Protein backbone atom coordinates (compact mmCIF):
# COMPACT_ATOMS: atom_id res chain seq x y z
CA UNK A 1 0.00 0.00 0.00
CA UNK A 2 1.25 3.45 -0.91
CA UNK A 3 2.87 5.49 1.87
CA UNK A 4 2.15 9.20 2.35
CA UNK A 5 3.72 11.74 4.68
CA UNK A 6 0.36 13.42 5.16
CA UNK A 7 -1.29 10.34 6.65
CA UNK A 8 1.44 10.04 9.27
CA UNK A 9 1.53 13.77 10.05
CA UNK A 10 -2.27 13.80 10.33
CA UNK A 11 -2.12 11.39 13.26
CA UNK A 12 -0.20 14.05 15.24
CA UNK A 13 -2.35 17.06 14.30
CA UNK A 14 -3.56 17.63 17.88
CA UNK A 15 0.04 17.99 19.06
CA UNK A 16 0.68 20.45 16.23
CA UNK A 17 -2.39 22.55 17.14
CA UNK A 18 -1.14 22.93 20.71
CA UNK A 19 2.23 24.37 19.66
CA UNK A 20 2.97 28.11 20.03
CA UNK A 21 1.85 30.06 16.96
CA UNK A 22 5.41 30.98 16.00
CA UNK A 23 6.45 27.33 15.91
CA UNK A 24 3.29 26.31 14.05
CA UNK A 25 3.91 29.04 11.48
CA UNK A 26 7.47 27.87 10.90
CA UNK A 27 6.73 24.14 10.71
CA UNK A 28 3.46 24.60 8.84
CA UNK A 29 5.01 26.87 6.22
CA UNK A 30 7.85 24.44 5.58
CA UNK A 31 5.47 21.50 5.33
CA UNK A 32 2.88 23.40 3.30
CA UNK A 33 5.45 24.25 0.65
CA UNK A 34 6.28 20.61 0.02
CA UNK A 35 4.51 19.67 -3.25
CA UNK A 36 1.15 18.10 -2.50
CA UNK A 37 1.96 15.14 -4.76
CA UNK A 38 4.85 14.29 -2.42
CA UNK A 39 2.93 14.87 0.79
CA UNK A 40 0.00 12.66 -0.24
CA UNK A 41 1.97 10.13 -2.27
CA UNK A 42 1.30 8.66 -5.69
CA UNK A 43 -2.31 7.83 -4.79
CA UNK A 44 -3.14 11.53 -4.86
CA UNK A 45 -2.10 11.84 -8.50
CA UNK A 46 -3.93 8.64 -9.42
CA UNK A 47 -7.19 9.86 -7.91
CA UNK A 48 -6.89 13.31 -9.48
CA UNK A 49 -6.33 11.67 -12.87
CA UNK A 50 -9.35 9.42 -12.26
CA UNK A 51 -11.71 12.31 -11.57
CA UNK A 52 -10.59 14.27 -14.60
CA UNK A 53 -10.72 11.31 -16.99
CA UNK A 54 -14.09 10.13 -15.69
CA UNK A 55 -15.74 13.53 -16.00
CA UNK A 56 -14.44 13.95 -19.56
CA UNK A 57 -15.46 10.44 -20.70
CA UNK A 58 -18.51 9.24 -22.57
CA UNK A 59 -21.54 7.52 -21.04
CA UNK A 60 -20.41 3.94 -21.65
CA UNK A 61 -17.02 4.50 -20.01
CA UNK A 62 -18.73 5.95 -16.93
CA UNK A 63 -21.20 3.08 -16.66
CA UNK A 64 -18.43 0.50 -17.03
CA UNK A 65 -16.31 2.28 -14.43
CA UNK A 66 -19.19 2.45 -11.93
CA UNK A 67 -20.03 -1.21 -12.47
CA UNK A 68 -16.45 -2.43 -12.00
CA UNK A 69 -15.77 -0.33 -8.89
CA UNK A 70 -19.10 -1.36 -7.34
CA UNK A 71 -18.35 -5.04 -8.00
CA UNK A 72 -14.94 -4.57 -6.40
CA UNK A 73 -16.59 -3.18 -3.27
CA UNK A 74 -19.19 -5.97 -3.10
CA UNK A 75 -16.62 -8.75 -3.50
CA UNK A 76 -14.29 -7.26 -0.90
CA UNK A 77 -17.10 -6.76 1.61
CA UNK A 78 -18.45 -10.26 1.17
CA UNK A 79 -15.03 -11.88 1.54
CA UNK A 80 -13.58 -9.74 4.35
CA UNK A 81 -16.35 -8.12 6.42
CA UNK A 82 -18.31 -10.54 8.67
CA UNK A 83 -21.34 -8.28 8.89
CA UNK A 84 -21.78 -8.07 5.11
CA UNK A 85 -21.27 -11.79 4.59
CA UNK A 86 -24.11 -12.54 7.02
CA UNK A 87 -26.20 -9.58 5.83
CA UNK A 88 -26.06 -10.76 2.22
CA UNK A 89 -26.85 -14.36 3.20
CA UNK A 90 -29.82 -13.20 5.26
CA UNK A 91 -31.22 -11.42 2.20
CA UNK A 92 -30.35 -14.28 -0.18
CA UNK A 93 -27.99 -12.23 -2.35
CA UNK A 94 -24.32 -12.52 -3.29
CA UNK A 95 -21.74 -10.48 -5.19
CA UNK A 96 -22.14 -13.13 -7.91
CA UNK A 97 -25.66 -11.77 -8.46
CA UNK A 98 -24.29 -8.38 -9.45
CA UNK A 99 -24.48 -8.63 -13.25
CA UNK A 100 -25.33 -5.01 -14.07
CA UNK A 101 -25.55 -1.67 -12.30
CA UNK A 102 -29.30 -2.12 -11.87
CA UNK A 103 -28.60 -5.14 -9.63
CA UNK A 104 -27.27 -2.92 -6.85
CA UNK A 105 -30.87 -2.45 -5.71
CA UNK A 106 -30.98 -6.19 -4.91
CA UNK A 107 -28.57 -5.67 -2.02
CA UNK A 108 -29.88 -4.63 1.42
CA UNK A 109 -29.47 -1.14 2.82
CA UNK A 110 -27.54 -0.27 5.95
CA UNK A 111 -28.17 2.62 8.34
CA UNK A 112 -26.25 4.42 11.05
CA UNK A 113 -28.15 2.28 13.56
CA UNK A 114 -26.73 -0.85 11.87
CA UNK A 115 -23.23 0.60 12.10
CA UNK A 116 -23.53 1.48 15.77
CA UNK A 117 -24.85 -2.00 16.59
CA UNK A 118 -22.28 -3.94 14.52
CA UNK A 119 -19.15 -1.77 14.39
CA UNK A 120 -16.72 -4.50 15.48
CA UNK A 121 -17.87 -6.69 12.58
CA UNK A 122 -17.88 -3.97 9.94
CA UNK A 123 -14.19 -3.28 9.38
CA UNK A 124 -10.89 -5.03 8.80
CA UNK A 125 -7.17 -4.25 9.05
CA UNK A 126 -6.10 -6.81 6.42
CA UNK A 127 -5.27 -4.20 3.76
CA UNK A 128 -4.65 -0.90 5.56
CA UNK A 129 -4.53 0.55 9.04
CA UNK A 130 -8.05 1.63 10.11
CA UNK A 131 -8.30 5.23 11.35
CA UNK A 132 -11.39 6.20 13.41
CA UNK A 133 -13.66 9.12 12.49
CA UNK A 134 -16.74 10.34 14.30
CA UNK A 135 -19.94 11.95 13.09
CA UNK A 136 -22.92 13.21 15.07
CA UNK A 137 -25.44 13.10 12.23
CA UNK A 138 -29.04 12.42 13.17
CA UNK A 139 -28.33 10.32 16.24
CA UNK A 140 -28.00 11.59 19.79
CA UNK A 141 -24.50 10.17 20.23
CA UNK A 142 -21.64 10.24 17.71
CA UNK A 143 -21.30 7.40 15.22
CA UNK A 144 -17.83 5.93 14.72
CA UNK A 145 -16.46 4.93 11.33
CA UNK A 146 -13.12 3.74 10.02
CA UNK A 147 -11.24 4.91 6.94
CA UNK A 148 -8.01 3.52 5.47
CA UNK A 149 -4.98 5.47 6.69
CA UNK A 150 -3.36 6.25 3.33
CA UNK A 151 -6.04 5.84 0.68
CA UNK A 152 -8.82 7.88 2.23
CA UNK A 153 -6.96 11.15 2.75
CA UNK A 154 -5.25 11.05 -0.65
CA UNK A 155 -8.53 10.27 -2.38
CA UNK A 156 -10.49 12.94 -0.56
CA UNK A 157 -7.82 15.62 -0.98
CA UNK A 158 -7.78 15.00 -4.73
CA UNK A 159 -11.59 15.14 -4.78
CA UNK A 160 -11.66 18.39 -2.83
CA UNK A 161 -9.11 20.15 -5.01
CA UNK A 162 -10.76 18.83 -8.17
CA UNK A 163 -14.16 20.22 -7.18
CA UNK A 164 -12.82 23.51 -5.79
CA UNK A 165 -11.00 24.12 -9.05
CA UNK A 166 -14.47 24.72 -10.55
CA UNK A 167 -14.51 28.06 -8.77
CA UNK A 168 -10.91 28.89 -9.65
CA UNK A 169 -9.37 27.80 -6.35
CA UNK A 170 -5.76 26.63 -6.43
CA UNK A 171 -4.18 24.88 -3.49
CA UNK A 172 -2.84 27.32 -0.88
CA UNK A 173 -4.69 30.33 -2.27
CA UNK A 174 -5.23 32.67 0.68
CA UNK A 175 -8.52 31.61 2.26
CA UNK A 176 -10.55 32.98 5.15
CA UNK A 177 -11.91 29.92 7.00
CA UNK A 178 -15.22 30.22 8.84
CA UNK A 179 -15.60 26.60 9.96
CA UNK A 180 -13.89 23.90 11.97
CA UNK A 181 -12.22 23.98 15.36
CA UNK A 182 -12.51 26.90 17.77
CA UNK A 183 -9.45 29.18 17.67
CA UNK A 184 -10.22 32.05 20.07
CA UNK A 185 -7.97 33.23 22.89
CA UNK A 186 -10.17 35.77 24.71
CA UNK A 187 -7.63 36.48 27.45
CA UNK A 188 -5.30 37.91 24.82
CA UNK A 189 -8.11 39.43 22.73
CA UNK A 190 -7.33 37.07 19.82
CA UNK A 191 -10.19 35.56 17.81
CA UNK A 192 -8.36 34.07 14.87
CA UNK A 193 -5.51 31.75 14.02
CA UNK A 194 -3.30 31.47 10.96
CA UNK A 195 -2.90 27.94 9.54
CA UNK A 196 0.18 27.96 7.28
CA UNK A 197 -0.14 24.44 5.88
CA UNK A 198 -3.19 25.30 3.77
CA UNK A 199 -2.72 29.09 4.01
CA UNK A 200 -5.97 29.58 5.94
CA UNK A 201 -6.90 32.32 8.38
CA UNK A 202 -9.40 30.86 10.83
CA UNK A 203 -11.92 33.23 12.39
CA UNK A 204 -13.74 32.21 15.56
CA UNK A 205 -17.36 31.29 14.85
CA UNK A 206 -18.14 31.58 18.55
CA UNK A 207 -17.32 35.31 18.53
CA UNK A 208 -18.64 36.13 15.07
CA UNK A 209 -21.85 37.69 16.47
CA UNK A 210 -20.19 39.80 19.12
CA UNK A 211 -18.69 43.23 19.65
CA UNK A 212 -15.33 41.65 18.77
CA UNK A 213 -16.34 41.38 15.13
CA UNK A 214 -14.70 44.65 13.95
CA UNK A 215 -11.40 43.39 15.36
CA UNK A 216 -11.84 40.09 13.51
CA UNK A 217 -12.84 41.89 10.32
CA UNK A 218 -9.70 44.07 10.35
CA UNK A 219 -7.53 40.99 10.78
CA UNK A 220 -9.32 39.32 7.84
CA UNK A 221 -8.99 42.46 5.69
CA UNK A 222 -5.25 42.66 6.42
CA UNK A 223 -4.92 38.98 5.39
CA UNK A 224 -6.39 39.81 1.93
CA UNK A 225 -8.03 36.44 1.26
CA UNK A 226 -8.85 35.34 -2.26
CA UNK A 227 -11.61 33.00 -1.05
CA UNK A 228 -13.95 32.59 1.90
CA UNK A 229 -14.65 29.00 2.94
CA UNK A 230 -17.16 28.22 5.66
CA UNK A 231 -20.48 27.01 6.91
CA UNK A 232 -23.31 28.91 5.18
CA UNK A 233 -24.47 30.16 8.59
CA UNK A 234 -21.00 31.51 9.38
CA UNK A 235 -20.69 33.27 6.01
CA UNK A 236 -24.13 34.82 6.50
CA UNK A 237 -23.15 35.91 10.00
CA UNK A 238 -20.00 37.52 8.61
CA UNK A 239 -22.15 39.43 6.10
CA UNK A 240 -24.74 40.47 8.71
CA UNK A 241 -22.10 41.72 11.13
CA UNK A 242 -20.26 43.59 8.37
CA UNK A 243 -23.51 45.40 7.57
CA UNK A 244 -24.25 46.04 11.24
CA UNK A 245 -20.89 47.75 11.77
CA UNK A 246 -20.91 49.49 8.39
CA UNK A 247 -17.88 47.59 7.07
CA UNK A 248 -17.31 47.21 3.34
CA UNK A 249 -17.32 43.76 1.70
CA UNK A 250 -13.94 42.08 1.37
CA UNK A 251 -12.70 41.97 -2.21
CA UNK A 252 -12.62 38.24 -2.89
CA UNK A 253 -12.67 35.91 -5.88
CA UNK A 254 -15.25 33.41 -4.62
CA UNK A 255 -17.09 31.80 -1.71
CA UNK A 256 -17.09 28.09 -0.82
CA UNK A 257 -19.70 26.68 1.57
CA UNK A 258 -20.12 23.20 3.03
CA UNK A 259 -21.44 21.03 5.86
CA UNK A 260 -24.86 22.69 6.16
CA UNK A 261 -27.92 23.03 3.97
CA UNK A 262 -27.92 26.21 1.90
CA UNK A 263 -31.02 27.80 0.42
CA UNK A 264 -31.71 29.99 -2.58
CA UNK A 265 -32.07 33.09 -0.40
CA UNK A 266 -28.62 32.37 1.09
CA UNK A 267 -27.05 32.26 -2.38
CA UNK A 268 -28.65 35.58 -3.24
CA UNK A 269 -27.49 37.25 -0.02
CA UNK A 270 -23.90 36.07 -0.45
CA UNK A 271 -23.70 36.93 -4.13
CA UNK A 272 -25.20 40.40 -3.70
CA UNK A 273 -22.92 41.31 -0.79
CA UNK A 274 -19.71 40.14 -2.46
CA UNK A 275 -20.46 41.83 -5.78
CA UNK A 276 -21.59 38.80 -7.78
CA UNK A 277 -18.74 36.40 -7.00
CA UNK A 278 -19.15 32.70 -7.79
CA UNK A 279 -20.32 30.45 -4.97
CA UNK A 280 -19.50 26.75 -4.75
CA UNK A 281 -21.50 24.55 -2.40
CA UNK A 282 -19.91 21.22 -1.48
CA UNK A 283 -21.87 18.15 -0.39
CA UNK A 284 -20.15 15.35 1.47
CA UNK A 285 -20.14 13.57 4.82
CA UNK A 286 -17.82 11.98 7.34
CA UNK A 287 -18.43 8.52 5.87
CA UNK A 288 -16.92 9.68 2.54
CA UNK A 289 -19.30 7.55 0.51
CA UNK A 290 -20.46 9.98 -2.18
CA UNK A 291 -19.71 13.60 -3.05
CA UNK A 292 -21.27 16.41 -5.08
CA UNK A 293 -20.97 20.12 -5.70
CA UNK A 294 -23.04 22.93 -7.15
CA UNK A 295 -21.76 26.14 -8.69
CA UNK A 296 -23.96 29.11 -7.83
CA UNK A 297 -27.55 27.85 -7.86
CA UNK A 298 -27.14 25.21 -10.56
CA UNK A 299 -27.95 21.55 -9.88
CA UNK A 300 -25.76 19.52 -7.53
CA UNK A 301 -23.39 17.47 -9.72
CA UNK A 302 -22.28 14.11 -8.30
CA UNK A 303 -18.68 13.09 -8.88
CA UNK A 304 -19.53 9.46 -9.65
CA UNK A 305 -15.90 8.37 -9.74
CA UNK A 306 -15.91 8.96 -5.96
CA UNK A 307 -18.82 6.66 -5.07
CA UNK A 308 -22.28 5.55 -6.22
CA UNK A 309 -25.28 7.75 -5.30
CA UNK A 310 -28.64 6.03 -5.74
CA UNK A 311 -31.82 7.99 -5.08
CA UNK A 312 -34.37 5.85 -3.23
CA UNK A 313 -37.61 7.49 -2.06
CA UNK A 314 -35.86 10.86 -2.46
CA UNK A 315 -33.02 9.82 -0.13
CA UNK A 316 -29.36 9.53 -1.13
CA UNK A 317 -28.25 5.91 -0.69
CA UNK A 318 -24.53 5.49 -1.32
CA UNK A 319 -21.98 2.77 -2.02
CA UNK A 320 -18.31 3.58 -1.46
CA UNK A 321 -15.28 2.98 -3.65
CA UNK A 322 -11.70 2.31 -2.48
CA UNK A 323 -12.48 1.81 1.22
CA UNK A 324 -10.83 -1.54 1.93
CA UNK A 325 -11.17 -1.05 5.67
CA UNK A 326 -14.88 -0.31 6.15
CA UNK A 327 -16.81 -0.32 2.89
CA UNK A 328 -20.31 1.14 2.72
CA UNK A 329 -22.93 -0.65 0.61
CA UNK A 330 -26.33 0.95 0.03
CA UNK A 331 -25.72 3.24 2.99
CA UNK A 332 -28.76 5.38 3.84
CA UNK A 333 -27.22 8.82 4.27
CA UNK A 334 -30.41 10.36 5.72
CA UNK A 335 -29.95 13.21 3.23
CA UNK A 336 -33.03 14.07 1.20
CA UNK A 337 -33.16 15.47 -2.34
CA UNK A 338 -35.91 17.46 -4.02
CA UNK A 339 -36.76 18.83 -7.44
CA UNK A 340 -35.25 17.62 -10.69
CA UNK A 341 -33.15 14.43 -10.64
CA UNK A 342 -31.01 13.41 -13.63
CA UNK A 343 -30.13 9.70 -13.75
CA UNK A 344 -27.87 7.53 -15.83
CA UNK A 345 -30.22 6.04 -18.40
CA UNK A 346 -32.09 2.97 -17.13
CA UNK A 347 -30.72 3.23 -13.57
CA UNK A 348 -31.50 4.90 -10.25
CA UNK A 349 -27.94 6.27 -10.05
CA UNK A 350 -27.97 10.05 -9.97
CA UNK A 351 -25.87 12.33 -12.11
CA UNK A 352 -27.41 15.52 -10.75
CA UNK A 353 -30.11 16.65 -8.33
CA UNK A 354 -31.71 20.03 -7.97
CA UNK A 355 -31.49 20.32 -4.20
CA UNK A 356 -30.02 18.37 -1.30
CA UNK A 357 -32.21 19.25 1.64
CA UNK A 358 -30.14 17.86 4.48
CA UNK A 359 -30.73 15.17 7.03
CA UNK A 360 -34.04 13.34 7.28
CA UNK A 361 -34.00 14.23 10.98
CA UNK A 362 -34.45 17.86 9.89
CA UNK A 363 -38.22 17.36 9.85
CA UNK A 364 -40.93 18.39 12.25
CA UNK A 365 -43.69 15.91 13.04
CA UNK A 366 -47.35 16.94 13.23
CA UNK A 367 -49.81 15.50 15.72
CA UNK A 368 -51.03 13.01 13.10
CA UNK A 369 -47.38 12.19 12.24
CA UNK A 370 -47.07 14.06 8.98
CA UNK A 371 -43.53 15.23 8.22
CA UNK A 372 -42.79 18.91 7.62
CA UNK A 373 -39.39 19.72 6.12
CA UNK A 374 -37.24 22.34 7.82
CA UNK A 375 -36.70 23.67 4.30
CA UNK A 376 -40.32 24.81 4.38
CA UNK A 377 -39.70 26.60 7.66
CA UNK A 378 -36.64 28.37 6.28
CA UNK A 379 -38.72 30.32 3.78
CA UNK A 380 -39.22 32.96 6.43
CA UNK A 381 -41.77 35.04 4.54
CA UNK A 382 -44.16 35.06 7.52
CA UNK A 383 -41.53 35.66 10.22
CA UNK A 384 -40.18 38.96 11.65
CA UNK A 385 -36.71 38.37 10.24
CA UNK A 386 -35.61 41.93 10.98
CA UNK A 387 -35.55 41.08 14.69
CA UNK A 388 -34.47 37.42 14.54
CA UNK A 389 -30.80 36.48 14.39
CA UNK A 390 -31.18 32.72 14.63
CA UNK A 391 -33.75 29.98 15.20
CA UNK A 392 -33.65 26.43 16.48
CA UNK A 393 -36.51 23.90 16.49
CA UNK A 394 -36.71 21.30 19.25
CA UNK A 395 -39.18 18.42 19.32
CA UNK A 396 -39.71 15.51 21.70
CA UNK A 397 -43.32 14.56 20.88
CA UNK A 398 -45.52 14.72 17.77
CA UNK A 399 -47.46 17.93 17.32
CA UNK A 400 -45.45 20.03 19.78
CA UNK A 401 -42.36 22.08 18.91
CA UNK A 402 -40.33 24.54 20.95
CA UNK A 403 -38.70 27.31 18.93
CA UNK A 404 -35.62 28.97 20.40
CA UNK A 405 -35.31 32.53 19.09
CA UNK A 406 -32.09 34.53 19.25
CA UNK A 407 -32.99 38.18 18.79
CA UNK A 408 -31.21 40.86 16.78
CA UNK A 409 -32.81 43.87 18.43
CA UNK A 410 -33.86 42.86 21.90
CA UNK A 411 -37.39 41.65 22.45
CA UNK A 412 -39.28 39.60 19.87
CA UNK A 413 -43.06 39.40 19.74
CA UNK A 414 -43.66 35.73 20.56
CA UNK A 415 -47.19 35.77 19.19
CA UNK A 416 -45.91 37.19 15.90
CA UNK A 417 -43.41 34.33 15.61
CA UNK A 418 -46.02 31.70 16.51
CA UNK A 419 -48.44 33.17 13.98
CA UNK A 420 -45.74 33.02 11.30
CA UNK A 421 -44.94 29.41 12.17
CA UNK A 422 -48.58 28.40 11.89
CA UNK A 423 -48.83 29.99 8.46
CA UNK A 424 -45.79 28.02 7.30
CA UNK A 425 -47.01 24.69 8.68
CA UNK A 426 -50.76 25.30 8.28
CA UNK A 427 -51.87 22.95 11.05
CA UNK A 428 -50.94 19.98 13.21
CA UNK A 429 -48.22 21.59 15.37
CA UNK A 430 -48.47 23.66 18.54
CA UNK A 431 -45.52 26.06 18.79
CA UNK A 432 -43.96 27.44 21.95
CA UNK A 433 -41.36 30.20 21.66
CA UNK A 434 -38.44 30.73 24.03
CA UNK A 435 -36.32 33.87 23.73
CA UNK A 436 -32.63 33.21 24.37
CA UNK A 437 -29.50 35.36 24.32
CA UNK A 438 -27.59 32.84 22.25
CA UNK A 439 -28.26 29.54 20.48
CA UNK A 440 -25.26 27.29 20.92
CA UNK A 441 -23.66 25.77 17.85
CA UNK A 442 -22.00 22.37 17.58
CA UNK A 443 -18.48 21.85 18.90
CA UNK A 444 -17.18 22.67 15.40
CA UNK A 445 -19.23 25.82 15.03
CA UNK A 446 -22.05 24.46 12.84
CA UNK A 447 -25.57 25.76 13.27
CA UNK A 448 -28.04 23.16 14.52
CA UNK A 449 -31.38 24.12 13.01
CA UNK A 450 -33.36 21.18 14.37
CA UNK A 451 -32.86 19.09 17.49
CA UNK A 452 -35.24 16.27 16.65
CA UNK A 453 -35.65 13.56 19.30
CA UNK A 454 -38.30 11.59 17.39
CA UNK A 455 -37.25 8.74 15.10
CA UNK A 456 -38.10 10.12 11.67
CA UNK A 457 -37.13 6.91 9.89
CA UNK A 458 -39.50 4.90 12.06
CA UNK A 459 -42.34 7.34 11.42
CA UNK A 460 -41.61 7.37 7.68
CA UNK A 461 -41.67 3.57 7.55
CA UNK A 462 -45.27 3.56 8.81
CA UNK A 463 -46.50 5.46 5.74
Kind of pairing between the strands at 363-365 and 331-343: unpaired
Cβ neighbours of 134 (radius 10 Å): 11
Separation of alpha carbons 408 and 322, rounded Å = 47
Cβ neighbours of 143 (radius 10 Å): 18
**Among 140-144, 171-175, 249-253, 266-270, which stretch is predicted with the lowest mean pLDDT?**
140-144
Superfamily of domain 1-173+253-359: ANL, N-terminal domain (3.40.50.12780)
pLDDT of 221 higher than 90: yes
Separation of alpha carbons 377 and 43, rounded Å = 44
> Helix or strand or coil: residue 304?
coil
Domain ranges of the chain: 1-173+253-359, 363-462
In terms of average pLDDT, the best of 69-73, 151-155, 228-232 is 69-73
Q: Report H helices in 169-245.
A: 213-223, 232-244
For the domain covering 363-462, report its CATH number: 3.30.300
What does the pLDDT look like over 187-207, one tens digit per residue?
Answer: 889 999 999 999 999 998 767
Q: What is the pTM for the complete model shown? A: 0.78
**Among 65-69, 169-173, 394-398, 419-423, which stretch is predicted with the lowest mean pLDDT?**
419-423
Separation of alpha carbons 104 and 374, rounded Å = 31
pLDDT over 70, % of the chain = 86
pLDDT of 6 higher than 80: no
CB hemisphere CA count around 313 (13 angstroms): 10
* Helices 151-164 & 42-56 angle (0-180, nearest 10): 50
Separation of alpha carbons 441 and 389, rounded Å = 13
CB hemisphere CA count around 15 (13 angstroms): 6
pLDDT of 143 higher than 80: no
> Helix or strand or coil: residue 337?
strand
pLDDT over 90, % of the chain = 55
Amino acid sequence: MSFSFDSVVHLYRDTYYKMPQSLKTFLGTVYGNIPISIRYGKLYGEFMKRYREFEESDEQFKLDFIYNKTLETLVFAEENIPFYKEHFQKHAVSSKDFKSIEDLKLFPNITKHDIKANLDRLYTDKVEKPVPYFSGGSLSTPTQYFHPLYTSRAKHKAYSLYTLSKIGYKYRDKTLLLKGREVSDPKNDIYWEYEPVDNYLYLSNNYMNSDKFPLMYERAKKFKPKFIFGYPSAVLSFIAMSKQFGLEPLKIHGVIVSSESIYEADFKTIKEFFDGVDILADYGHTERVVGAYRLNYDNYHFVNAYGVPRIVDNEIVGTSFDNFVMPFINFKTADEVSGEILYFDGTDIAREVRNIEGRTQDYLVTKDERLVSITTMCGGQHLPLDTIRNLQYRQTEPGKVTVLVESRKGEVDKEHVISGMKKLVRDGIEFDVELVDKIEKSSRGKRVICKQSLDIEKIRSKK
